[in-house]
């Protein structure tokens, strides 16, 4: 019995140690907490509480070069042109980036992706899982080239207007809208 207990505790210790090791907070303040994995190729950011603050300075992370990045943004309520400040100084010329915004999203202001020359060079897939109000300003996604643009409204938030002017000067290969009965 005692031996089994020891084995049990040892396994638990190994699991806890691995959990601590895999936690790699790379950006943290009162507004957001980001966890980076595989040398920043997978980044998960959580907005800690609803905030009007949207400024994230990505240059505080060390520069990295991967062909592919995956970003998860959880509970972010607003995106503005400050959300990706100095992003191009850290994530050096990737071929593809996937952005996944999960829950939250009330409002997206103009020109969230800047500089255009940087983002236009990248194959971008962007998805919004269960956005809330999803108010899009004119030019929200301007200047961009999207491989795929997906909205998945599984929680069935109230109907929203899909502002097509958000896509001024943007190229979109595919728009996919799932589970939304009222647009």
Ligand X SMILES: *[C@@H]1O[C@H](CO)[C@@H](O)[C@H](O)[C@H]1NC(C)=O
- List interacting residues with ligand X (CB under 6 A): 25, 28-30, 33, 39, 46, 50-52, 64-65, 74-75, 93, 103, 117-118, 121, 150, 152, 154, 178
Cα–Cα distance, 57 to 37 (Å, whole number): 18
- Closest CB to ligand X among residues 90, 163: 90
The minimum distance between CB 157 and ligand X, in angstroms, equals 13
Handedness of CA 53, 59, 61, 65 (dihedral sign): positive
The minimum distance between CB 163 and ligand X, in angstroms, equals 19
Handedness of CA 88, 90, 91, 92 (dihedral sign): positive
The minimum distance between CB 165 and ligand X, in angstroms, equals 22
Please return the burial class of 153, using the count of CB atoms within 10 Å of its CB with bins 0-12, 13-18 and 19+.
buried
Cα–Cα distance, 26 to 57 (Å, whole number): 12
Please return the burial class of 46, using the count of CB atoms within 10 Å of its CB with bins 0-12, 13-18 and 19+.
middle
- Closest CB to ligand X among residues 10, 39: 39
The minimum distance between CB 132 and ligand X, in angstroms, equals 10
- Closest CB to ligand X among residues 64, 163: 64
- Closest CB to ligand X among residues 10, 176: 176
- Closest CB to ligand X among residues 103, 163: 103
Strand 25-28 and strand 32-37: pairing?
A: antiparallel
The minimum distance between CB 5 and ligand X, in angstroms, equals 32
């Amino acid at each position: 019995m005692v031996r089994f207990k020891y084995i049990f505790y040892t396994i638990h210790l190994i699991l806890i140690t691995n959990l601590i090791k895999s936690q790699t907070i790379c950006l943290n303040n009162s507004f957001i907490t980001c966890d980076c994995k595989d040398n920043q190729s997978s980044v998960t950011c959580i907005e800690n509480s609803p905030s009007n603050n949207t400024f994230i300075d990505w240059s505080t992370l060390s520069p990295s070069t991967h062909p592919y990045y995956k970003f998860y943004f959880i509970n972010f309520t607003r995106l503005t042109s400050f959300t990706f400040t100095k992003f191009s100084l850290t994530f050096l010329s990737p071929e593809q980036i996937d952005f996944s915004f999960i829950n939250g999203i009330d409002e997206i202001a103009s020109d969230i992706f800047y500089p255009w020359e940087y983002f236009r060079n990248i194959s971008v897939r962007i998805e919004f899982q269960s956005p809330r109000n999803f108010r899009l300003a004119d030019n929200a996604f301007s200047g961009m080239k999207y491989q795929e643009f997906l909205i998945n409204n599984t929680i069935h938030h109230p109907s929203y207007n899909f502002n097509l002017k958000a896509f001024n000067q943007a190229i979109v290969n595919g728009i996919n809208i799932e589970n939304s009965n009222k647009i």
